[in-house]
Homo-oligomer: A and B are copies of this chain.
Amino acid sequence: MTTVRVLLADDEHLIRGALAALLALEDDLVVVAEAATGREALAMARAHRPDVAVLDLEMPGADGVNVATSLRTELPGCRTMIVTSHGRPGHLKRALAAGVRAFVPKTVSARQLAGIIRTVHAGNRYVDPELAADAISAGDSPLTTREAEVLELAADGAPVAEIAERASLSQGTVRNYLSAAASKLGAENRHAAVRLARERGWV
């Protein structure tokens, strides 16, 4: 029997500890390192060279996908998987693009998670069916790169002038992009557009 060396990264101590305890019950899995932040996860991975890195999506510092991206080049032998509470379609896409092998919501049981870790270690992929369906039904973003960029900058309610400055664009251009984005999304104004795009993971 091969044993799988696992790295666990989650900023919530409660969950990380609990998870470690549960995975320890599976006798082919061994948690070799734990981390509470993105940076810590990277350091731990370098030090312990795990077979599989189980990364929380939302962590202080670098988020799970960023960590996965770094790991991909630094430790190509280490498979990465993402667990998350909030399954936005966009995150899934981002994760897959970063070479993540599994994307799992926290609604699965520990037993299932253990199974998925084995699946990933065996070189296969796993994507939660629910999340996959969402991602497919959400479809591809109709927004161009710049439209998405500008929309992103509009997210915190900043006035056009500020967006223009931060994007190094003229105010008129910003208004055009915002207008285009809103109409593509069928939104009444940019703020509603931001909400919609967020929901569908397009920003």
Chain A contact residues, CB within 8 Å of chain B? 11-15, 17-19, 21-22, 25, 83, 85, 105-110, 113, 156-159, 187-195
Q: How far is the CB of A10 from chain B (nearest CB, A)?
A: 9
Q: How far is the CB of A104 from chain B (nearest CB, A)?
A: 8
Residue of B nearest to A85 (CB): B12
Cβ–Cβ contact A18 & B12, under 8 A: no
Residue of B nearest to A11 (CB): B107
Q: How far is the CB of A146 from chain B (nearest CB, A)?
A: 21
Cβ of A19: which chain B residues have Cβ within 8 Å of it?
14, 18
> How many copies of this kind of chain does the complex include?
2
Contact of A14 among B110, B159, B187, B191 (CB under 8 A): B110
CA distance A105 to B105 in the complex (A): 20
Cβ of A187: which chain B residues have Cβ within 8 Å of it?
157
Q: How far is the CB of A47 from chain B (nearest CB, A)?
A: 22
Cβ of A11: which chain B residues have Cβ within 8 Å of it?
107
Cβ–Cβ contact B110 & A191, under 8 A: no
CA distance A193 to B22 in the complex (A): 43
Cβ–Cβ contact A18 & B22, under 8 A: yes
Cβ–Cβ contact A107 & B12, under 8 A: yes
